[in-house]
Copies of this chain bind each other. A is one copy, B any other.
Amino acid sequence: MLLLRRCRRLTAGLSPAQAQRARPAASPAPSWCGVGGGSRSSSGGGGEDGQTSQDPRWRPALAGLLAGTGAVLAYGLHHHKAERSASPMEPASPMEPALPVFSQAEVSKHGSLEAGVWVTFRGGVYDITDFVAMHPGGDKILLAAGGALEPFWALYAVHSQDHVLDILSEYKVGELDPEDQARQRAVEPSDPYSGDPQRHPALRVNSAKPFNAEPPPALLGDSYITPSAIFFKRNHLPVPRVDPASYRLRVEGLPRPLSLSLADLKSRFPKHTVTATLQCAGNRRSEMNAVKQVKGLNWGIAAISNATWSGALLRDVLREGGWGPEAAAAAGGGGARHVQFEGLDADASGTTYGASIPLNKALSEEGDVLLAYQMNGEDLPADHGYPLRVVVPGTVGARNVKWLGTVTVSREESASHWQQNDYKGFSPGTDWDTVDFRSAPAIQELPVQSAITQPADGAVLERDADGGVTVRGYAWSGGGRAVVRVDVSLDGGKTWQVARLREGEGDGEGEEEQGEATPPPPPPPLPGRAWAWKLWEVVAPLPPGEQQVEIVCKAVDDSYNMQPDSVAPIWNLRGVLSNAWHRVRVTVRED
C-alpha cells in the first residue's frame, strides 16, 4: 500500500526532462549494454594504462540496501506470480520463438510511464511498465527507463539474486540490436577530454568538459556511503592519464624532500582509513541563481557525497620529510603556515590545478588529512584522482586536490587562481565591480548544511488515512563538527519537529516498519572529528486541508551553528556557501 503510493508519487515528481538529463550529455545512445556480466569496456580512460579502477564495472557497493521488510515482501509476492507463469529467465534458446530486435534508439523512446518503460539487460529488451508500481525500490527504477539496467543494479546489491532475474524474465519483449551493443562512444583524439572515463548514466551533468555532475537526490539520500560511480564529480580540467608504475609524489619545503612511488606510500606509512563527506563550495548554487544570477555551475543539492578513503596520513609523510610540531616551533612561528597541493591535471598552457590548506590542519594528530589511494575500498577511480589525491576531512572539496603531483610546505598560500581569486565568500552587497578577492579568506572549513532528498521539489503527494509524509535528507558540517539535530517543518518554518539521525551504514536503512526497533546509534566520533554526514528521516503529518505545502529542513552542528533562514542575505557573486534552509514545495492531492 505504502509502496504503491510511493511509486505513483514518483511518477509525478520525475519529469521527462529530468529523465533525459540522467544520461551523459556526450553520449545520447548509451553503450552500457555490453558492460555487465564480467565483460569490460575498452572505451574511455580504462584499460590501456592499467587504471583498472576507471572501468565502469559498477561493482556491488551497497550490500543490504533495500533489504528491509517491505522489499522482501514485495519480491516474495512477485516470486509466486513468476512461478505460476513458469518462465524463468535464461538465454533465449532455439526452442523458443524468436523475439523481435530493437535498436537502442527505439528503446530510448520508452522512457516514461506514459510512453512505456523499457530497459535493456545483457542484450535483452524488457517492457517493465507493469512492474514499476511493484518495484520495492520505488521511483528509482525510472532512472533506468529507456536505457540499461546494469549500472543501477550494480549500485543495489539486492538485485544480485536469482529470483530478481526470474521476475525480469517475465517482461522480455525483444533483443537489442547487436550493432548497438557493440557501439562505443565517439572519440575525437584531438579533444583534450577524449581520455576522460566513462560515467554512470544516472548522473546529472552540469558541464561535460570539464566533467561536472551530481547524482539524483533520491539516489544520494539512499546510502550512507555514496557509491563511487555516482559520487559527485567536480573536475576543473581534463582527467589526466597517470601511469601508476612511473608515478612519483614530490614532497617539498621540508628538511628532507621526498619522492615517493605508490609502493612507497603503501608500504612505508601506516594505512589510515577515514569516512569523510566532500562538498563542493558551489553545492546548491542553483538556489542563489534563483535570487540573482551568479557565476558558476548550476549545482542542485547533490554536489556532496560521502565515501571511505584510505591512504597514508599526510602528517606521517611530512614527518618522514623531517617536518613536525617541533620543526614548526623551531621556525619561530613566522615560517611555514601552509601546505600547497598541485595536481597533474593541466590546461593547454600547462597550468595545473592547485590549492592549499593551513599547515596546522595537516600536522594535527586530529586532522586526519590523507594522501588517499583508495576510495570505498578500491583504487581511486579516474574521476576521483587516480592514483593519488589528498583528502582533507571537514574542508571544502576544492582543497582535496586530485591526481596529486606535488606537496609543498610553504610560508604562503597556494598562488593558484582557485585559492586566490575563487572559492571565497563575499557580502551580498559586493559585485564584480567592487570585489577585492584579497579581502576574504579562502574557503577551508564549510558551514553547517542540510537538504531534503525526498520528496522532490514539485512532487505531488497523495494524502492517505494517516496523513503522513516521509521526509529524508542529509546533514553535514565542516571542520569535524558533528550534526546534532535536524529540524523539519511542514508549514514553511512556523513549526518544527526533530528528525531521526542515521549515524552510519547500519542505522535506520530499513523501511518505516522497523521504526521503533532500531538499535541505538554507534558511539559518536571524537569531538572535532565528525567528518561524515548524517542521513536523517522524519515521518510527519501533512497539514490538514493544505494543498500546497512547503517542507523545510535546517541542521544544527555541535557548535550549535545553525543554517541561515533565507538565500538572499547570503547571496554572493560566486554563488558559493549556499546553505540556507532547504525548502521543497509539494502539492497534496486528496485520496
Contact = CB atoms under 8 A, between A and B. Distances in A.
A358 B579 CA distance: 28
Contact of A569 (B526, B565, B569): B565
A524 to B, nearest CB: 9
A485 B427 contact: yes
A562 B570 contact: yes
Given A358-B527, A366-B360, A430 B558 contact: no
Interface residues of A, number: 52
A569 B556 contact: no
Contacts of A427: 485, 487, 496-498
A559 interface: yes
A495 interface: yes
A559 B365 contact: no
Given A325-B365, A560-B425, A440 B495 contact: no
A337 B525 CA distance: 11
Interface stretch (A13-21, A171-179, A442-450): A442-450
Nearest to A552: B569
Contacts of A429: 487, 495-498
A358 B425 CA distance: 31
A396 to B, nearest CB: 9
A570 B496 CA distance: 10
Interface string A317-337: 000000001000000010001
A92 interface: no
Contacts of A554: 569
A551 to B, nearest CB: 15
Contacts of A569: 487, 493, 496, 554, 562, 565
A265 to B, nearest CB: 24
Nearest to A498: B427
A478 interface: yes
A314 to B, nearest CB: 16
B496 A428 contact: yes
Contact of A445 (B325, B447, B478, B559): B559
Given A478-B559, A493-B569, A565-B566, 7 more contacts: A428-B495, A429-B498, A441-B558, A445-B481, A447-B560, A559-B561, A563-B564
22 contacts: A337-B526, A358-B527, A358-B528, A360-B366, A360-B526, A360-B528, A427-B498, A428-B495, A428-B496, A429-B487, A429-B496, A429-B497, A440-B485, A441-B484, A441-B558, A443-B560, A447-B562, A479-B559, A561-B561, A562-B569, A562-B570, A562-B579
